[in-house]
Amino acid sequence: MSHSVTRSLILFAFSAGAIGNAISQSGGSLDRYFPVRVGESRTYSVSREWTDGSGPNLVNKHSRSSYTETTVGKQVVNGGLEFFEIRRTPGASIHALCSGDPWEASSRAPDETEDTRYRLAVDHSRIYVVCDSKELEEMKSSAKKDEYADFVFPLRLGSAWGADAATLKRKDHMYQWIVAKSLQTMTAGGHLYSNCYEVDFRTLPDDEKRWLCDGVGLVATEYTHHGTMNHYRVELTQIK
């Protein structure tokens, strides 16, 4: 599953503090913190800084772009497991789910005319990002485990997944997804959200952070390479 990847909001009432109630002690549920709706489109802005070239020819570069993801279909299989098909335009954004490693892909140029399609597999407590046909068949036929999940609910401070049992015991909490913070409010894409969680995945030498907010879902993603500069931030700007 991908660790890499990452939307004027016409959703509910996006005024200050308008979304959601206080984060409950039971944690953030899947339906509140990662809603998936057929026909819905989410647009994300991307800001990026990176270093290009080598030796004396190193150049710092900056870019801004956007992409839109639309949920175009749903299929229920294997005892109620739901598969949602997602279409992304332009298709080659390196900052989104199922885009590959953001460092290795840094030299790729987006194809502005191409769509990319992937699937989200959703059960009662987990979401798996399914990037290709091989993963799709594996998901349909095999038992599901937190080790392979991209998101596990309910979200609670300190809960962790996305790694084997030994890694989950690490005291430094590296090489695993972990719910690192709960936030009463946060701003992303020029909009104020309430009752959010920050989910982190830290390695040597990379960090990725995802923010999920009540009633909305994924509102921001940030990737940082600690070394030669490669950093991007993705923010939700529109839902329709």
Task: Please give the full DSSP string across 204-230, using - where no structure is assigned.
Answer: SSEEEEEEEETTTEEEEEEEEETTTTE
Q: What is the pLDDT of residues 69-118, one digit of tens each?
A: 999 999 988 677 899 999 988 865 656 677 644 333 344 444 444 578 88
Q: Are the beta carbons of 238 and 216 closer than 8 angstroms?
A: no
d(C-alpha 61, C-alpha 145), whole Å: 40
- Residue with structure tokens 């990037």? 131
Report the range of poorest mean pLDDT among 91-95, 204-208, 210-214. 91-95
Find the DSSP H helices in 56-155. 133-141
Under 8 Å CB-to-CB from 183, ≥6 apart: which residues? 195, 196, 197, 198, 211
Looking at residue 216, its amino acid is V
For residues 148 and 68, the model is more confident at 68
Beta-sheet pairing, 41-52 with 151-152: unpaired
For residues 58 and 199, the model is more confident at 199
Under 8 Å CB-to-CB from 76, ≥6 apart: which residues? 82, 83
* pLDDT(133) > 70: yes
Q: Are the beta carbons of 49 and 229 closer than 8 angstroms?
A: yes
* pLDDT(186) > 50: yes
Which among 34, 40, 41, 85 has a CA at the least distance from the CA of 67? Answer: 41
Domains of the chain: 30-239 (2.40.360)
Looking at residue 125, what DSSP letter applies?
S
* 111-135 average pLDDT score: 79
